[in-house]
């Protein structure tokens, strides 16, 4: 069978379902419809930029009814005046140039849209539309119908217009402007030729340079003064004190120099220094715009849900307005926003957002439903027990750990070094000054300023930003996305690793399937496989993938009983696939495993067992890590797999089961109180507390575009086995920093020897400063790239 791929979405086409339209083959009606929409509107160029760029549109009937509500609409809109509306929508599917093209041509598909602009790194589209001609709901429906369903969650509810801080870029621009011009203007004097021409214009050049240095000194470097002032106030010596001191001394001394006509001053070095240091800051500021590290339950939860009034009418209601005893209607694929009691007969709920467990859980009428689960199957009705903020899961966020801003919870390596560097420098300057006072008083002042200028730890301050910024990028390329550079320092210090079990060390994608029972004949196999095709239940999909390729059989009768199983009939054979209850079997073995039973023509054939499958390389990884780290497994599940884990993993691994989200948080806290540096690796919302509490919280994600809880880093699940490599690399990064600290101190010593002997001419300063910065920057870049390959 030759494999054909869908022209729209690229999925391999199952022969039977193939739809041929316009000489192109599609895997399903949805994809064909999207193609039709595009070709009718002259937009089939969509397929020229990228091969099979599309996504199959999902069924969304009723899902966005809440957009009819005026109040909710207003909250979502970025701008609203008369009929002009602007909305920014997050669309996870944006991934290629075709996406940009089609989304920026929305006005061809929908009347009333005037412009739409894509921000690719943020995966957002900003649409301006005329509210008299179209509505937000229509737009969302249009986007969904072409496979670009926007993601609207409770988080959108609160975000207004974000203010982007661009001051660093302004400062960098100003600093570069000053630096460049001053460098050019200082050039004639570097050669110190006593020539008539230079002598005549000396004053003009010097004062021009002075004027040009003012914006750099006053504006571009202002952050350093503020930071130095703050650190003096809190009696902590950070690196910005010697920097600010150096800059100010440099400026004052240079000004005196040109006023009294001693020389040209150090304005060139001054502006160069400011420029390089700002560059370092920018380099460190690498962020992954399309990822968010600050998510809490709000980005998972829907913004509104359908409420059933007592008279049976349905109205959309904002999630925050839900009250106890309300009746809610929740559709297939919708999330339960609050704790409640199931009123409908049965349902299956997918708690993979919360626990990482992919196999849905069955619930019966009267069972308690916890917020965070996703309904799979038909519409259900439930009664609310708690409001959003008081639900079991969301209560976790009232813990203190989520309240404080943990910006400066750690001291950075540079600050630590400067605790020694700053006092030594000041002491040295004082000693040298006093010694020179006895020899020659005017020179003493010169030497004092020269020492402070040359010791300005510019290279020192550049080391960490450039190394960490580079490491951040390299790790990002290898699908480990860290929140900021500080995380790397923390990563290098970690001595205890805590893993979540479900979804973290087990994969929630591929559970191993096993068939237990009498061997099935080929006919029976093909019957089961073909019956499975019609079902969208996750377990059916898994069994379908597990079964070998078999000939097609026409299924004549097919019935799916939600929450129970499938009954299908073909060629006078009836097959029942599903729970023990459906088949009327009593399974004596009480087991933790999920089973799907098979009955053909009323004879019991056996069952499929789903086993949690551990991720590839887990065992090797644990073996490798157990030498250096303390390993722990923290699971919310029962002890069903304790023995398997004990045999698989190194003996030193501690296994803790039955942990509630708060208990996980407490567990980490307890370890930290014992002086451990804990790294937590988890995936679900139930790990959110532990991730926030730990020194480094890494969240594992099958698809980084989908959501993961607040954390310090997001790791692509396929890279899990490389965890040891990341840890080692972060250690090497810190080693690189130490080495380059040594290098920059060496430069400082050379500079100081000039300064102490009273020979620091502006030319020497202008050579040493950029030279040291450039060597340090290239050294750390080369080293971090070298270690990355190791």
Partner 1 sequence: MSVIYILITVSIVVAVVFLLAFIKAVKSGQYDDDYTPSVRMLFDDELKKSPSKIIEVEKQKPI
Q: Return the range that interacts with partner 1 (CB under 8 A); candidates 162-170, 232-240, 351-359, 431-439.
A: 162-170
In the list 14, 20, 45, 439, the residue contacting partner 1 (rule: CB under 8 A) is 45
Residue with Cβ nearer partner 1 (15 or 111)? 111
Does residue 36 bind partner 1 (CB under 8 A)?
no
Q: Return the range that interacts with partner 1 (CB under 8 A); candidates 120-128, 133-141, 147-155, 602-610.
A: 120-128
Least distance in angstroms from the C-beta of 121 to partner 1: 5
CB 726 within 8 A of CB 732: no
Q: Which residues contact 635 (CB under 8 A, 6 or more apart)?
A: 500, 501, 502, 655, 656, 657, 658, 659
Within its chain, how far is the Cα of 713 from the centroid?
A: 6
Least distance in angstroms from the C-beta of 215 to partner 1: 9
Joined tokens for residue 47: 């397929």
In the list 21, 151, 177, 581, the residue contacting partner 1 (rule: CB under 8 A) is 177
Site for partner 1 in 209-238 (CB under 8 A): 212
In the list 166, 235, 651, 674, the residue contacting partner 1 (rule: CB under 8 A) is 166
Q: Return the range that interacts with partner 1 (CB under 8 A); candidates 117-125, 485-493, 741-749, 758-766.
A: 117-125
To 10 degrees, what angle do helices 618-626 and 723-756 make? 40
In the list 31, 34, 43, 109, the residue contacting partner 1 (rule: CB under 8 A) is 43
In the list 6, 72, 174, 425, the residue contacting partner 1 (rule: CB under 8 A) is 174
State phi, psi for 541 to the nearest 5 degrees: -60, -40
Least distance in angstroms from the C-beta of 704 to partner 1: 17
Does residue 78 bind partner 1 (CB under 8 A)?
no
In the list 56, 181, 255, 285, the residue contacting partner 1 (rule: CB under 8 A) is 181
Least distance in angstroms from the C-beta of 183 to partner 1: 12
CA separation for the pair 123, 143 (Å, rounded): 14
In the list 37, 60, 86, 100, the residue contacting partner 1 (rule: CB under 8 A) is 100
Does residue 25 bind partner 1 (CB under 8 A)?
no
DSSP class of residue 661 equals H
Q: Which residues contact 514 (CB under 8 A, 6 or more apart)?
A: 608, 609, 611
Does residue 70 bind partner 1 (CB under 8 A)?
no
3-state class (DSSP) for residue 790: coil
Q: Return the range that interacts with partner 1 (CB under 8 A); candidates 199-207, 319-327, 489-497, 551-559.
A: 199-207
Does residue 138 bind partner 1 (CB under 8 A)?
no
Does residue 128 bind partner 1 (CB under 8 A)?
no
- Nearest Cα neighbor of 115 from 77, 84, 141 is 84
In the list 187, 204, 207, 262, the residue contacting partner 1 (rule: CB under 8 A) is 204
Count of beta carbons in the 10 Å neighbourhood of residue 322: 20
Q: Which residues contact 727 (CB under 8 A, 6 or more apart)?
A: 491, 492, 494, 625, 629
CA separation for the pair 496, 671 (Å, rounded): 9
Least distance in angstroms from the C-beta of 45 to partner 1: 5
Joined tokens for residue 575: 């097959």
Does residue 549 bind partner 1 (CB under 8 A)?
no
In the list 29, 39, 131, 775, the residue contacting partner 1 (rule: CB under 8 A) is 39
Least distance in angstroms from the C-beta of 184 to partner 1: 8
To 10 degrees, what angle do helices 723-756 and 458-477 make? 160
In the list 101, 151, 190, 445, the residue contacting partner 1 (rule: CB under 8 A) is 101
Joined tokens for residue 79: 């701008």
CB 298 within 8 A of CB 158: yes
Does residue 523 bind partner 1 (CB under 8 A)?
no
- Region of residue 754 (phi > 0: left; psi between -120 and 50: alpha; otherwise: beta): alpha
Does residue 182 bind partner 1 (CB under 8 A)?
no
3-state class (DSSP) for residue 500: strand
Joined tokens for residue 12: 């391999």
- Degrees, nearest 5: CA angle 10-16-22: 55
Residue with Cβ nearer partner 1 (201 or 738)? 201
Does residue 203 bind partner 1 (CB under 8 A)?
no
Does residue 208 bind partner 1 (CB under 8 A)?
yes
Residue with Cβ nearer partner 1 (173 or 551)? 173
Least distance in angstroms from the C-beta of 8 to partner 1: 16
- Nearest Cα neighbor of 504 from 242, 686, 754 is 686
566 forms bridges with which residues in the sheet?
Answer: 560, 577
Does residue 207 bind partner 1 (CB under 8 A)?
no
Residue with Cβ nearer partner 1 (18 or 48)? 48
Does residue 121 bind partner 1 (CB under 8 A)?
yes
Does residue 474 bind partner 1 (CB under 8 A)?
no
In the list 25, 119, 399, 562, the residue contacting partner 1 (rule: CB under 8 A) is 119
Q: Return the range that interacts with partner 1 (CB under 8 A); candidates 174-182, 226-234, 523-531, 591-599.
A: 174-182
CA separation for the pair 133, 211 (Å, rounded): 56
CA separation for the pair 743, 776 (Å, rounded): 7
Does residue 165 bind partner 1 (CB under 8 A)?
no
Does residue 405 bind partner 1 (CB under 8 A)?
no
Q: Return the range that interacts with partner 1 (CB under 8 A); candidates 79-87, 204-212, 292-300, 645-653.
A: 204-212
Q: Return the range that interacts with partner 1 (CB under 8 A); candidates 112-120, 143-151, 371-379, 652-660.
A: 112-120
Within its chain, how far is the Cα of 385 from the centroid?
A: 33
- Nearest Cα neighbor of 486 from 723, 740, 672, 733 is 733
CA separation for the pair 480, 476 (Å, rounded): 5
CB 635 within 8 A of CB 657: yes
Least distance in angstroms from the C-beta of 194 to partner 1: 17
Largest CA distance in the chain: 113
Does residue 180 bind partner 1 (CB under 8 A)?
yes
In the list 17, 71, 159, 169, the residue contacting partner 1 (rule: CB under 8 A) is 169
Least distance in angstroms from the C-beta of 702 to partner 1: 24
CA separation for the pair 719, 704 (Å, rounded): 12
To 10 degrees, what angle do helices 762-789 and 723-756 make? 160
Residue with Cβ nearer partner 1 (198 or 315)? 198
Residue with Cβ nearer partner 1 (196 or 438)? 196
Residue with Cβ nearer partner 1 (80 or 105)? 105
In the list 69, 75, 114, 120, the residue contacting partner 1 (rule: CB under 8 A) is 120
Q: DSSP characters for 253-286? A: HHHHHHHTTS---SHHHHHHHHHHHHHHHHHHT-
For the chain, the first-to-last Cα distance in angstroms comes to 43
630 forms bridges with which residues in the sheet?
Answer: 496
Count of beta carbons in the 10 Å neighbourhood of residue 289: 11
Q: Return the range that interacts with partner 1 (CB under 8 A); candidates 42-50, 291-299, 468-476, 730-738.
A: 42-50
In the list 89, 118, 570, 692, the residue contacting partner 1 (rule: CB under 8 A) is 118
Mark 605-635 as b/e (b = at least 16 C-beta within 10 Å).
bebbbbebebbeebeebbebbbeebbbbbbb
Count of chain residues binding partner 1 (CB under 8 A): 33
Does residue 161 bind partner 1 (CB under 8 A)?
no
Site for partner 1 in 695-734 (CB under 8 A): none
Least distance in angstroms from the C-beta of 523 to partner 1: 44
DSSP class of residue 601 equals T
Q: Which residues lie near partner 1 (CB under 8 A)? A: 39, 42-45, 48, 97, 100-101, 104-105, 117-122, 164, 166, 169-170, 173-174, 177, 180-181, 185, 197, 200-201, 204, 208, 212
């Amino acid at each position: 069978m030759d494999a054909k791929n869908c022209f729209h979405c690229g999925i391999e086409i199952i022969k039977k379902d193939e739809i041929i339209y316009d000489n192109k083959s599609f895997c399903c009606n949805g994809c064909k419809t999207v193609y039709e929409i595009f070709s009718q509107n002259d937009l089939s160029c969509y397929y020229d930029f990228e091969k099979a760029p599309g996504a199959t549109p999902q069924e969304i009937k009723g899902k966005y009814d809440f957009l009819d509500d005026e109040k909710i609409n207003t909250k979502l809109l970025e701008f609203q005046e008369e009929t002009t509306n602007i909305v920014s929508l997050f669309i996870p599917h944006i991934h290629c140039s075709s996406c940009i093209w089609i989304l920026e041509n929305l006005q061809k598909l929908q009347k009333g849209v005037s412009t739409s602009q894509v921000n690719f790194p943020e995966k957002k589209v900003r649409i301006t539309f005329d509210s008299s001609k179209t509505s937000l709901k229509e737009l969302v429906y249009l986007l969904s119908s072409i496979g670009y369903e926007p993601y609207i969650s409770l988080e959108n509810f609160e975000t207004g217009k974000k203010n982007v801080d661009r001051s660093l870029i302004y400062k960098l621009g100003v600093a570069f402007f000053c630096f460049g011009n001053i460098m050019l203007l200082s050039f004639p004097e570097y050669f110190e030729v006593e020539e008539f021409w230079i002598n005549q214009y000396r004053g003009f050049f010097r004062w021009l340079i002075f004027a040009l240095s003012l914006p750099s000194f006053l504006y571009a470097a202002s952050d350093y003064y503020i930071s130095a002032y703050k650190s003096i106030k809190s009696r902590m010596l950070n690196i910005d004190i010697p920097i600010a001191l150096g800059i100010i001394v440099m400026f004052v001394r240079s000004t005196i120099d040109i006023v009294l006509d001693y020389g040209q001053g150090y304005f060139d070095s001054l502006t160069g220094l400011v420029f390089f240091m700002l560059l370092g800051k920018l380099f460190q500021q690498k962020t992954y715009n399309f990822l968010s590290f600050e998510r809490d339950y709000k980005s998972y939860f829907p913004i509104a849900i359908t409420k059933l009034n007592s008279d049976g009418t349905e109205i959309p209601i904002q999630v925050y307005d839900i009250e106890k005893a309300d009746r809610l209607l929740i559709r297939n694929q919708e999330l339960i926003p609050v704790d409640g009691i199931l009123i409908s007969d049965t349902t299956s709920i997918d708690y993979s957002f919360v626990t990482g467990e992919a196999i849905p859980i069955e619930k019966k009428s009267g069972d308690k439903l916890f917020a965070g689960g996703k309904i799979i199957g038909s519409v259900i009705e439930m009664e609310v027990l708690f409001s959003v903020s008081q639900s079991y899961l969301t209560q976790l966020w009232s813990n203190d750990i989520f309240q404080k801003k943990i910006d400066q919870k750690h001291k950075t390596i540079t600050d630590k070094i400067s605790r020694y560097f700053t006092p030594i420098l000041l002491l040295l300057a004082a000693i040298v000054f006093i010694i020179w006072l006895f020899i020659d008083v005017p020179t003493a002042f010169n030497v004092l300023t020269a020492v402070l200028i040359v010791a300005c730890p510019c290279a020192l301050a550049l080391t960490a930003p450039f190394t960490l910024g580079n490491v951040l990028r390299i790790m990002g390329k290898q699908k480990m996305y860290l929140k900021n550079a500080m995380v790397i320092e923390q990563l290098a210090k970690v001595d205890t690793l805590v893993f979540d079990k479900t979804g973290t060390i087990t994969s929630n994608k591929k559970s191993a399937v096993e068939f237990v029972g009498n061997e099935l004949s080929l006919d029976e196999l093909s019957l089961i496989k073909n019956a499975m095709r019609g079902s969208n239940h996750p377990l059916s999909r898994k069994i379908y993938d597990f079964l070998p390729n078999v000939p097609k059989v026409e299924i004549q009768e097919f019935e799916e009983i939600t929450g129970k199983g499938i009954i299908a009939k073909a060629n006078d054979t009836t097959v029942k696939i599903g729970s023990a209850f459906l088949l009327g079997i009593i399974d004596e073995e009480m087991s933790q495993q999920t089973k799907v039973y098979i009955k053909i023509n009323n004879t019991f054939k056996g069952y499929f067992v789903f086993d949690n499958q551990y991720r590839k390389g887990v065992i090797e990884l644990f073996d490798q890590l157990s030498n250096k780290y303390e390993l722990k497994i923290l699971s919310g599940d029962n002890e069903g797999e304790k023995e398997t884990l004990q045999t698989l993993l190194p003996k030193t691994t501690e296994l803790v089961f039955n942990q509630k989200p708060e208990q996980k948080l407490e567990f980490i806290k307890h370890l930290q109180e014992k002086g451990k540096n804990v790294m937590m690796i988890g995936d679900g919302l139930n790990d959110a507390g532990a991730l926030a509490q730990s020194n480094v919280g890494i969240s594992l994600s099958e698809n980084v575009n989908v959501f993961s809880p607040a954390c310090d880093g997001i790791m692509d699940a396929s890279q899990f086995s490389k965890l040891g490599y990341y840890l080692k690399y972060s250690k090497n990064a810190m080693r690189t920093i130490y080495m380059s600290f040594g290098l920059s101190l060496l430069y400082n010593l050379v500079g100081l020897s000039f300064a102490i002997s009273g020979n620091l001419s502006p030319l020497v300063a202008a050579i040493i400063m950029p030279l040291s910065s450039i060597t340090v920057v290239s050294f750390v870049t080369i080293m971090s790239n070298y270690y990355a390959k190791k």
